[in-house]
Chain A
């Protein structure tokens, strides 16, 4: 039976949400191939998360447990994943396009001498050939390219977080757990972690429910403090276009778009953002887009669910005022 593999990215026993998103899309691909979804889990003493992986749709889990895998390192993780892929020969192998996932995927594809498509945003099975169609933005999001890997297996892709929804969790479902072993040694890891410095203030754009974002039209750093107040009031995060980041009005960790983060909040409020293709690539999956811009021809209005042609500042100030008023009357 053809297997669609999903790499489960975990750090200290915490699963990256992109792994659940991939389990969701893998179910659709596996069903089109009349195959099954299998998960690949590498780590050290992470048994606790196995039920979670089944609950999100894995029918099988290949689990490689080893002390050398206690934190992510390129060499042992690549070796473990490559050897198991050689042994079980999956048809498709999906990995999240996170910093760790992309690091891993490049190594694994090289060992398997197979094709790897980076940062994919659409996946489907070609009903005629049975091949995986992997679509991704190229040239900074200016064009979309559909890539196939006809003669090599597995067909590998790293997939952008937040493109696919997290599937429904079915806690009662259990699958088959296969414990694997691959010979790994501390010496061959070469790289050693001396320390870890956590981010001071984590910006969680990718998984925010509301994003208040500003672009070049904001005009200054000060403009972003108004948007920050609005974001805070809505318990959301602050986003920005590349031009605003390049003007140093706000940090790169806030950048939404092809070279920044992909987001899909419930509501995306875009102030003074023209909506260049690079930006749209990162936010067009939002459930609802509100755009405010003085230029009625701005491309952002093509994808906005609610567009307002006018001064962003007036709208932002009035909105902030109205929200605060509503809060105070709520008591």
Chain B
């Protein structure tokens, strides 16, 4: 049996974010929380693998109490076990503290059962760091392949996988043994069709909750804000200053504006 761990994050939908122009802070009211879109890909892939092979899927997230909703949604994608890492002491974690907390929880779960495949989104759309997946892999001492766009072959008998990884110059075809951590690009897996029974199951699902006190023990100084080497010094809204000249085609002729563009190109030897 294939044993899969998926790590997800609940994020504000950044396409709907508004900024208070006076304070430069986020207006959170009315901004929906969603599962990070790249983590949806990871969940979809896990579901697809579950349909193809015999697989068990465990989904983990770290977040505030309402992150429970993200885990319930994961049950629609066939999650068999859902775990919420939730404690005020976990809050304010940067990527180093986050990867520590997740890796310790995964280590704890691995006392019971070893995972073959770890699936993470390539990055979360709120922080866009792409650092947590590689961080967890390094803490667990397992190999990682980032930016995976395709699973070419998965061989549960010989316990190995062949994947396509996207780089700037093309696609690398990479082979790796289990256990392996993959970070998922958008195109890796389509959204699955979710059967009604999963939706019903999701409504009833309750995650297991881990906090700073148990069931495992953490090094306190490595958690949350305290365990985060990076600090936010300042947050501000990028300023706009009008720098150029604006012409309206109601007032000036098309020939005039075209010749202005040509001048710009000519001055820079681009014609």
Chain A residues within CB distance 8 Å of chain B: 11, 16, 74-75, 78, 98-100, 102-103, 105-107, 109-111, 113-119, 133, 137-152, 189-199, 202, 209-210, 234-236, 252, 258-259, 266-267, 269, 277, 280-281, 287-290, 296, 299, 301-311, 314-315, 318-319, 322-323, 326
B168 to chain A, nearest CB (A): 6
Question: Which chain B residue has the least Cβ–Cβ distance from A301?
Answer: B246
- A-B pairs with beta carbons under 8 A, tally: 265
A314-B254 contact, Cβ under 8 Å, with A147-B233, A192-B174, A288-B268? yes
- The answer to whether A149 touches B270, judged by C-beta atoms less than 8 angstroms apart, is no
* A residues in contact with B254, CB < 8 Å: 310, 314-315, 318
Q: Does B196 count as interface, using CB distance less than 8 angstroms?
A: no
- The answer to whether B270 touches A210, judged by C-beta atoms less than 8 angstroms apart, is yes
A322-B138 contact, Cβ under 8 Å, with A138-B126, A190-B176? no
| Interface residues of A, dominant DSSP | mixed
* A residues in contact with B18, CB < 8 Å: 142
- The answer to whether A110 touches B139, judged by C-beta atoms less than 8 angstroms apart, is yes
CA distance A287 to B244 in the complex (A): 12
* A residues in contact with B247, CB < 8 Å: 306-309
B61 to chain A, nearest CB (A): 19
A139-B14 contact, Cβ under 8 Å, with A196-B171, A305-B243, A309-B247? yes
Name A110's contact: one of B138, B147, B177 (CB within 8 Å): B138
CA distance A145 to B127 in the complex (A): 11
- The answer to whether A140 touches B125, judged by C-beta atoms less than 8 angstroms apart, is yes
Name A119's contact: one of B128, B143, B162 (CB within 8 Å): B128
5 A-B interface contacts by CB (under 8 A): A102-B131, A106-B133, A107-B138, A143-B236, A304-B243
Question: Which chain B residue has the least Cβ–Cβ distance from A243?
Answer: B15
CA distance A210 to B25 in the complex (A): 35
Name B240's contact: one of A74, A197, A269, A302 (CB within 8 Å): A302
Q: Does B10 count as interface, using CB distance less than 8 angstroms?
A: no
B31 to chain A, nearest CB (A): 10
Q: Does B134 count as interface, using CB distance less than 8 angstroms?
A: yes
Q: Does B192 count as interface, using CB distance less than 8 angstroms?
A: no
* A residues in contact with B250, CB < 8 Å: 309-310
B253 to chain A, nearest CB (A): 10
- The answer to whether A193 touches B249, judged by C-beta atoms less than 8 angstroms apart, is no
**Hey, what's the 0/1 contact readout for B146-177 against A, CB within 8 Å counting as 1?**
11000000000000001010111111111111
